[in-house]
Amino acid sequence: MRNRHAGPFDIPVRDIVHRSGEMREHSFALPAPAKWGEGLVAIAEGEPVALEVRLESVHEGILVTGEVDTRYTGMCGRCLRDVAEPLEVEFQELFAYPGEEAADFEVQDDHVDLETLVRDAIVLSLPFQPVCQPDCPGLDPVTGERLTASTGSEQREPLDPRWAALQDYTPDHDD
């Protein structure tokens, strides 16, 4: 009997506990229970998270190998446009049988709880500096407007008037 309420990411393992060599596969999709990620992009609460999981009984516990497919949303780190991109992450972790040694993940009663494992795998794979496209030119530092891909080679006023004297300097300038 479970002594706590089963979570949505819990997978029963009673039939393979302490039966080395046994394996089970599961496929399921769940909504993200909360916002995952704190950077420019994150997995929104309620975003579908699809899981393909293989559970293998080994001597030390249950080896969990899986793949998660979801989608992150947020802002481009260069031009601040909205971005939404698919995210595919693979993970593998041993859920140890409770015992003498401390483990990051343990088999709990008759199940393994994948929520922390899945959340950590997703958050660690989110891009730190997401972009709307690989060659996004970003924002104009003066006007704050989005730059277009065809900026050309137009001459602009120097950003700082203290550099104005160097505007006309050329490398082949004779003194």
For the chain, how many residues are written? Answer: 175
CA nearest neighbour of 139 among 128, 129, 148, 130: 148
Tell me the per-residue pLDDT of 75-107, one tens digit each, with 9 for 90 and over. 999 898 999 999 999 999 999 998 867 788 999
Cα-to-chain-centroid distance, residue 164? 45
Q: Which residues pair with 56 in a beta bridge?
A: 23, 63
- 91 with 117: CB under 8 angstroms? yes
pTM: 0.76
Tell me the per-residue pLDDT of 123-154, one tens digit each, with 9 for 90 and over. 999 999 999 988 898 888 888 888 865 444 45
Cα-to-chain-centroid distance, residue 40? 11
Tell me the per-residue pLDDT of 13-58, one tens digit each, with 9 for 90 and over. 999 999 999 999 999 999 999 999 999 999 999 999 999 999 999 9
